Amino acid sequence: MAKKKIRIRAKMKGDVAEVKTLMSHPMETGFRKNKKTGKKIPPHFIKEVICEHKGNKVLVASWGVAVSKNPYLSFKFKGAAKGDTITVSWNDNKGESATADAKIS
């Protein structure tokens, strides 16, 4: 894998963990046309993002094609501590997937 597909930054702010993630994905809508051939570019987008903390799903995102290319996602949750691991994974409409984890600082 040439590029890291998911980047995560998680930080404790008081008793709230703030998680920021950046995924690397084309998020193709299926509406765009290839300018040379005039053919439509098939859709290719992330359908689901699952964020887990200690086996609990803290956030499950369902996305359509309207989410921007290289999606950014941020959320906050309680009940975490410094050093805990947060896992983020996505799967897309072509059956591809990626998973990454990070320690909360």
Nearer to other proteins, 1 or 15 (CB): 15
Whose tokens are 């404790």? That residue is 12
Nearer to other proteins, 2 or 15 (CB): 15
Could you tell me which residues are beta bridge partners of residue 50? Answer: 60, 89
Measured between alpha carbons, how far is 82 from 53 in angstroms, rounded to an integer? Answer: 12
Measured between alpha carbons, how far is 29 from 75 in angstroms, rounded to an integer? Answer: 25
Piece in contact with other proteins (CB under 8 A), picked from 6-14, 70-78, 81-89, 96-104: 70-78
Look at the chain and count its residues: 105
Question: Which residues within the stretch 83-102 sit at the binding site for other proteins (CB under 8 A)?
Answer: 93, 95
Minimum CB separation of residue 3 from other proteins in Å reads 19
Measured between alpha carbons, how far is 11 from 102 in angstroms, rounded to an integer? Answer: 10
Question: Which residues within the stretch 10-29 sit at the binding site for other proteins (CB under 8 A)?
Answer: 16, 29
Contact at 8 Å (CB) between 72 and 21? yes
Piece in contact with other proteins (CB under 8 A), picked from 1-9, 53-61, 82-90, 96-104: 53-61
Rule CB under 8 A: which residues touch other proteins? Answer: 16, 29, 31-33, 35, 47-48, 55-69, 71-79, 93, 95
